[in-house]
């Protein structure tokens, strides 16, 4: 049996080269890691993996922070291993690390202080660019954005 997780349809649209457009019927969650991605498809309220799932064992926080994305530049209220946060435009932010964090086996959690979606748009060992969207799927700024990078 494939692993499963209870979840509600997210209507999440990822960035990058993915051209999939989710709907209420075909919502999905996409987890991207250094070795590929695991895509989950809608099965009512349960999403089952269709691709190899990356192995993640605990990990330690290598960088984290909370910032107000409505300001230019964004205003951090706390951070660890963050050199800078740059607002690239509505809903787009580049977080540069003080010390590099290899992309391989990196696990990133992004939280928003209001309903919406967040995803990694691009990443290197020294930075990551995230994007945030409102519930309609448009790029939007949020007053509270948090992130935690584990490895």
In a domain, 120, yes or no: yes
The burial of 141, by beta-carbon neighbours within 10 Å (0-12 exposed, 13-18 middle, 19 or more buried), is given as: buried
Domain count, the chain: 2
Residue-level pLDDT at 106: 85
pLDDT in tens, 30-40: 444 444 444 34
C-alpha dihedral sign at 8, 10, 11, 16? negative
Who has greater pLDDT, 59 or 151?
A: 151
Residue 69 has pLDDT above 80, yes or no: yes
Q: Are 149 and 108 in contact (CB under 8 A)?
A: yes
Q: Are 36 and 52 in contact (CB under 8 A)?
A: yes
Of the pLDDT bands very low, low, confident and very high (cuts 50, 70, 90), residue 41 is very low
Residue 129 has pLDDT above 50, yes or no: yes
Residue-level pLDDT at 101: 93
pLDDT in tens, 94-108: 999 999 999 887 889
Nearest to 82 by CA among 74, 70, 90: 74
Segment 44-55 shows an average pLDDT of: 41
CA distances from 120 to 20, 25, 135 (A): 16, 24, 17
In a domain, 54, yes or no: no
Residue 14 has pLDDT above 80, yes or no: no
Which range of residues forms the domain containing residue 9?
4-49
Nearest to 66 by CA among 112, 6, 17: 112
85 shares its domain with 115? yes
Nearest to 70 by CA among 3, 135, 17, 134: 134
Any residues with CB less than 8 A from the CB of 8 and at least 6 apart, and which? 45
12 shares its domain with 44? yes
C-alpha dihedral sign at 93, 96, 101, 104? positive
65 shares its domain with 42? no
Mean pLDDT of the chain: 74
């Amino acid at each position: 049996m494939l692993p499963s997780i209870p979840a509600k349809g997210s209507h999440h649209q990822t960035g990058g080269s993915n051209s999939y457009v989710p709907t209420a019927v075909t919502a999905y969650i996409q987890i991207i890691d250094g070795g590929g991605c695991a895509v989950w498809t809608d099965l009512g309220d349960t999403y089952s993996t269709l691709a190899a799932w990356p192995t993640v064992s605990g990990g330690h926080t290598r960088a984290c922070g909370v910032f107000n994305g409505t300001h230019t530049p964004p205003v951090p209220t706390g951070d660890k291993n963050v050199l800078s946060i740059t607002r690239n435009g509505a809903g787009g932010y580049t977080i540069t690390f003080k010390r590099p964090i290899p992309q391989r086996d990196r696990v990133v959690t992004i939280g928003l202080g209001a309903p919406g979606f967040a995803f990694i748009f691009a990443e290197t060992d020294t930075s990551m660019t995230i994007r945030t969207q409102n519930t309609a799927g448009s790029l939007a700024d949020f007053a509270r954005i948090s992130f935690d990078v584990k490895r």
